[in-house]
Chain A
Amino acid sequence: MVQMPERHDPAASTLLNELREHARQLATDVAGSLRRVRVRSGDSTVEVEWQPVPTAPAGTQGVDPPGGRPPEPADTAGVGRSDAEAGGEVIISSPMVGTFYRAPDPGSDPFVQVGDVVDEDQTVAVIEAMKLFNPISADCTGVVTEILAVDAQPVEFGQPLIRVTPDPGSIYHASVGRAGTDPIATTNSHG
């Protein structure tokens, strides 16, 4: 039988309790410090987010020995940026698989250089995916300290692109990922 979610479904509170229980147990089952827990009943969501662990470069087979570090599940909001462990640095990471470009087109100056001051709405790079150019914004006010990806090279989802030391006064939207931003089609001359 098809079961449709109903607003006053007595099963909903049971479901919510189960989700709570799952979230609690997930949180205690995996080592590492928690960053965020989210429980939801409509559409059944459980999200538990851990502090980021440095990612091994995804390369060829046998990346790590079996029994390596525990998995890092359910990372949805951490994409696009993450705090460095110390010093409050921000890593802008790629919200998608694509090609990283530092400039709007091959003849132009890069969007940013090391030492530039950027503000949160400023475009710092573009990622080309399926012929669409997706602007990547800084999402914080600060100083660019390092360019981590190579111009015109492929990048994976979550790959670090640019390191920024934020201005201590800037507002930091910790939970806003940029991955959901709609790509913008442009007549950019890359590719």
Chain B
Amino acid sequence: MFSKVLIANRGEIALRVARACREMGIRSIGVYSTADRDPRTLRHFDQVIHIGPAPGRRSYQNTAAVVEAALQAGADAVHPGYGFLSEDPDFAEVCASVGITFIGPRPEQMRMLGDKVTARTVMRDAGLTLLPGSVEPLASLTQARATSDAIGYPVIVKAVAGGGGKGMAVVRSAAQLPDAFARARSAARHLFGDDRVYLERCLTRGRHVEVQILCDSHGGAIHLGTRDCSVQRRHQKLLEEGPAPALDPVTVEAMTAASTRAARAIGFLGAGTVEFLVDEDERFYFMELNARIQVEHPVTEAITGVDLVREQIYIADGMPLGLSQQDITLRGVAVECRVNGEDPARDFAPTPGMIDRFDPPGGPFTRIDTHCFAGYLLSPYYDSLLAKVVVWAPDREQALNRMDRALTEFDVAGRTVRTTIPFLRRVISDPEFRKAEHSTALVDRIREHRS
């Protein structure tokens, strides 16, 4: 087993990994930027190294700085968390070249899954259904128009190098296509340095359902059930729950079986999430396979009792999975809310500044993953996640009541800081959401209703 793991991340996920390491008797090496130098953050690691200035690309996303720190500290392995270097195949390759284990998939898989054209082709060949649209990148507007006319509007234009909800444009009619196509290409070039785009049918009443998988290096592959992440604003998740509600068990069975089968077919390694869009007739379409631990992983941990970060570390160390599919039984319902330092009234704009009061909830079956405290400065350099509130209950009704209770208890305030808490409470009290009849259109509907 590894004796030292360097955690190439910050915020709540860095803490989450440090906690797993400590429980496993592994020394954790934290890295930090100048903006994160507060000792109240750094105390969670066994050793810390200052790797760069505040901007992420010069610290947490800087391969040279992270690898150099790992070598200095004598780390056996690097856990990349999510974001930053977690899906960078070049980083994984550099780690391997200096004899450090990257806790995640193999670099060639990361490269394949990061390119949406390759990923979609490979997963289609592995038996997953894609939304009607173009598999190859669109060469021209003429081709985009022909494809859209064939599948029908609305369509969504996506960046080949994109993912995680970035670089997408919804097109509602043929008249909007030329402009949207040009803007999507330009956005893709700007965000990812790659202007290739493809398009597919846009489901206006779709649900976002994903399957958590774990695959070891001995051919073992299991799934840990589903999560529903339909509560999104601009393709960014706000609330997640598991198992996905209001799905026919036959659909769930087909979806989870297809996910593990596809993962096995491509020789996937580590923890991954297979994301699907589910239409009103419960047909499910593959969107992407995220080859990393996800923000919403605690939902699955709560309903399965499996520590996913611990499993990631064991898998990276070459151990076979200690669990078979029969060992995974889902119990109850878990819900996660992302408490972000954002102002829902101003299109969820980040609100950096000093957090003066920070008193998170407690109580039964309530888990808070956070790196914040009173006196924490919410920096404009990084994402605005302040805390994840995760609750468990025997059924959905109780879980939602428990979440509302937890959010009511949460006292977080700062002069410039706004949070998503009031908006999350509106979602939880929404009748359509309560009945699990919502789709990815829910957040927009609530916001339009209010204004």
Contact = CB atoms under 8 A, between A and B. Distances in A.
Interface in A63-95: 63-64, 66-68, 70-76, 79
Interface of A: 1-2, 4, 18, 21-22, 25-26, 29-30, 44-46, 55-56, 58-64, 66-68, 70-76, 79, 96-98, 129-130, 132, 154, 156-159, 179
A44 B380 CA distance: 9
B34 A154 contact: no
Contacts of B43: 61-64, 66
A75 B53 contact: yes
In this complex, which of B42, B53, B170, B351 has the most chain A Cβ atoms within 10 angstroms of its Cβ?
B53
Nearest to B352: A22
A68 B39 contact: yes
B64 A129 contact: yes
A156 B167 CA distance: 36
A153 to B, nearest CB: 10
B187 interface: yes
Interface string B360-381: 0000000000000101110111
Contacts of B349: 18
A67 B67 CA distance: 32
B352 A46 contact: yes
A55 B37 contact: yes
Contact of B54 (A64, A74, A130): A74
Contacts of A73: 34-35, 54, 377, 379
Interface string B36-74: 011110111111111111110011000011011100100
A157 B49 CA distance: 8
Contacts of B58: 179
25 contacts: A1-B169, A1-B234, A2-B169, A22-B416, A29-B353, A30-B354, A45-B380, A68-B38, A71-B38, A73-B34, A74-B379, A75-B34, A76-B54, A96-B68, A97-B50, A129-B65, A130-B68, A154-B72, A156-B51, A157-B50, A157-B59, A157-B65, A179-B52, A179-B53, A179-B58
A177 to B, nearest CB: 8
A106 B6 CA distance: 30
Interface in B345-403: 349, 351-354, 373, 375-377, 379-381
B168 interface: yes
A63 B42 contact: yes
A128 to B, nearest CB: 9
B183 interface: yes
Nearest to A26: B353
Given A25-B416, A61-B45, A71-B377, 16 more contacts: A1-B168, A4-B183, A26-B354, A29-B353, A58-B32, A62-B43, A68-B38, A71-B37, A73-B35, A75-B34, A75-B53, A76-B34, A97-B51, A129-B68, A132-B64, A157-B50
Contact of A158 (B34, B187, B190): B34
A30 B52 CA distance: 22
B231 to A, nearest CB: 18
A103 B195 CA distance: 46
B48 A130 contact: no
Contacts of B46: 60-61
Interface of B: 32, 34-35, 37-40, 42-55, 58-59, 64-65, 67-69, 72, 167-170, 180, 183-184, 186-187, 190, 234, 349, 351-354, 373, 375-377, 379-381, 414-416
> Closest 7 interchain pairs by CB?
A64-B39, A29-B354, A71-B38, A156-B50, A2-B187, A154-B72, A75-B34
B64 A130 contact: yes
A97 B72 contact: yes
Contact of B53 (A1, A154, A157): A157
A30 B349 CA distance: 22
B100 to A, nearest CB: 13
Given A59-B47, A97-B72, A129-B64, A68 B352 contact: no
A26 B34 contact: no
B381 to A, nearest CB: 7
A191 to B, nearest CB: 11
B388 to A, nearest CB: 22
A18 B67 CA distance: 37
Given A2-B187, A158-B34, A46 B53 contact: no
B132 to A, nearest CB: 21
B52 A63 contact: no
Contact of B415 (A29, A55, A130, A154): A29
A157 B65 CA distance: 9
A58 B415 contact: no
Given A2-B169, A29-B353, A97-B51, A72 B183 contact: no
Nearest to B346: A18
A97 B69 contact: yes
In this complex, which of A73, A74, A130 has the most chain B Cβ atoms within 10 angstroms of its Cβ?
A73
Nearest to B381: A74
A58 B50 contact: yes
A75 B377 contact: no
A165 B76 CA distance: 42
Nearest to B22: A61
Contacts of A67: 40, 375
Nearest to A96: B65
Nearest to B67: A130
B40 A58 contact: no
A79 B50 CA distance: 12
A161 B69 CA distance: 18
Contact of A26 (B38, B169, B180, B352): B352
Contacts of A157: 34, 50-53, 59, 65
A1 to B, nearest CB: 6
Given A22-B380, A74-B35, A157-B53, A98 B68 contact: yes
